[in-house]
Amino acid sequence: MASPANFLRLCLRTSRPLSNLRTAAVQQSTLRRQLSTTQWRPAPSQDEAANQEAQDEFDRVFRNPGEFLKTLVRDENVPDEERQLAMRMLDDWKKVPPDMQRQFDRLTEEVDQESARLRRPVQPKRDSFWNTEEADSDLITSEIGEDDFEEDDIMALGHAKLEEHREFREYARIAVWEMPLLSKLAKPFQPPAEDEVLRFRYTTYLGEFHPADRKVVVEFCPRDLPLTEPQQLKLKKLAGARYNPEKDIIKISCERFEHQAQNKRYLGDLVDKMIATAKDPTDMFEDIPLDLRHHKVKPQVKFPKEWYLTEQRKKELEARRQQALLLDEQKRTEGTLVDGVQTIQQALLTMKAVEETVPVLRGRSPRGRR
């Protein structure tokens, strides 16, 4: 059976906060360090003192509530109301019988000992191959000793299976009872208004961190903007390869900044700048043709309408064939139909007749020639 430590870990697994991980990753990606042999260390944050204190609070283990209340009373930073409340609670604690207090101490000690392994930071072994020795924390069962059957319970795998079923049923319940309620929140589709020209696209990975979730894309049609024809043309030329002539749409994306909002703001500013430049009459780029080399128009081949075999078409074809057959028949009766095989046979017959008249040299019989 699972040891208490593993049991605890399983309990903790669901409530593990993800925010720390995420900030760490972001910090890493934004910090571009030079080539160096020293280890990377984050810069000390502003409120280091407060951070340190919080760290201490976590590090120190109180054996019972009395100890905790004592430190709280002694603490100078605590407001008076809290201190008085703590003093009152401390008096209550002192009234608790001493064996109960000792039991508390023992329990705390036990939990502390059992959970010591968990609290130790897991460091990957240096010479391990892809950290194969590391236990996989995402597995439902703990891998250690799960195949030992102790005749008091079903196996860990069975428990895991049951857990899985519970999960399925939970989601099924949600789907049946709670999802339909979502329709109450549905809003009717409003087509974009005249002045809502820009269409933004965002990406979300449902709360998970992803390097692409900051990307924002804006699309707009130059015709929708309040611009004259030459200004629109200039805008298209400014957009360069971001202009799609088939859809008549300019599409720009940005993932330069860390947050979605920053990227969106940048795009908005950029579009404003482009419009302002397009409106600027000093140079309208009249000498530069619109460059569409980036876009290959793929011809859409469609089945020709005339080729569909409709009833009418079938009749038409049938009539034409009939006419051709009649024409052939007529020619055949007239004898004007040309037949290649017949022609050759006739020619061969006439050629034999010609061959017989080959002149023979005088003084020699035909037999003698042989």
Partner 1 sequence: MSAPNCLRGLVRPSATIPISAPRSAAPRAAPIGLARPAPFSTTALNARRQDPNQQGGGGKGHVRQGKKLKLGKFKKTAVESKGKPPLPGERRAYRKRITLSNDNAIPVPWLKDIGADGLANAQNIARVLALPEEVQDQLRASEAFKPTQCWGMFRKPSLLVRKESVDLMNRIQTSVDNKQTLRLVVTGDKVTGKSMMLLQAQAHAFLNNWIVIHVPEGQELTTACTEYAPIPNTDPVQYMQPVYILKLLQSIKRANEKILAKTYTMTGHPELPQNITPNTPLLALCNAAKEPDSAWPVFQALWNELTAHGTAANRPPILLSLDGLAHVMRVSDYRSPAFERIHSHDLALVRLFTDTLGGAVQFPAGGAVLAATSRNNAPRSPSMELSLAQREAEQAKREEVPQKDPFFRGYDDRVEAVLRSVQVIRLGGVSKLEARALMEYWAASGMLRATVDEKAVTEKWTLAGSGVLGEMERAALLTMRI
Name the minimum Å distance from CB 321 to partner 1.
8
Does residue 325 interact with partner 1 by CB under 8 A? yes
Number of residues this chain uses to bind partner 1 (CB under 8 A): 17
CB of 340 to partner 1, least distance (A): 4
Region of 25-33, 44-52, 107-115, 318-326 interacting with partner 1 (CB under 8 A): 318-326
**68-127: which residues touch partner 1 (CB under 8 A)?**
none
Q: Decide whether 172 or 324 has the Cβ nearer to partner 1.
A: 324
Measured from the CB atom, the residue of 98 and 340 that comes closer to partner 1 is 340
* Nearer to partner 1 (CB atom), residue 283 or residue 291: 291
Q: Does 344 bind partner 1 (CB under 8 A)?
A: yes
Contact assessment for residue 216 and residue 201, using Cβ atoms and an 8 Å cutoff: yes
What is the distance of C-alpha 42 from the center of its chain?
Answer: 30
- Strand 199-202 and strand 216-220: pairing? antiparallel
Closest alpha carbon to 149 in 140, 139, 159: 159
Kindly state the smallest distance separating residue 298's Cβ from partner 1, in Å.
18
By the rule CB under 8 A, 343 interacts with partner 1: yes
Is the dihedral angle over the CA atoms 338, 342, 348, 349 positive or is it negative? negative
Sequence-distant (≥ 6) Cβ neighbours of residue 152 within 8 angstroms: 1
- How many other C-beta atoms can be found within 10 angstroms of the C-beta atom of residue 86? 19
| CA 275 – CA 283 distance, rounded (Å) | 14
CA–CA distance, 2 with 135 (Å, rounded to integer): 14
Q: Shortest distance, CB of residue 353 to partner 1, whole angstroms?
A: 14
Is 103 or 323 the residue whose CB approaches partner 1 more closely?
A: 323
Nearer to partner 1, 107 or 337 (CB): 337
DSSP-derived 3-state class of residue 44: coil
Rg (CA), the chain: 45
Nearer CB in complex with partner 1: 282/350 = 350
The DSSP 8-state label assigned to residue 182 in this structure reads G
CB within 8 Å of 300: residues ≥ 6 apart: none
Under rule CB under 8 A, which residues in 287-306 are in contact with partner 1? 289, 291, 293
Residue at token pair 């795009």: 267
Is 347 a binder of partner 1 (CB under 8 A)? Answer: yes
Q: Is 335 in the site for partner 1 (CB under 8 A)?
A: no
Applying CB under 8 A, which of residues 17, 98, 124, 340 lies at the interface with partner 1?
Answer: 340
- How far is Cα 103 from Cα 63, in angstroms, rounded to an integer? 10
Tracing tokens 């391990």 back to the chain, one arrives at 128
Question: Tokens standing for 113?
Answer: 């000992």
Stretch that binds partner 1, among 37-45, 248-256, 307-315, 319-327 (CB under 8 A): 319-327
First to last CA, the chain: 115
Closer CB to partner 1, residue 27 or residue 346? 346
**Interacting stretch for partner 1, rule CB under 8 A, among 50-58, 183-191, 303-311, 338-346?**
338-346
Instruction: Write out the residues near partner 1 by the rule CB under 8 A.
Output: 289, 291, 293, 321, 324-325, 327-328, 331, 337-341, 343-344, 347
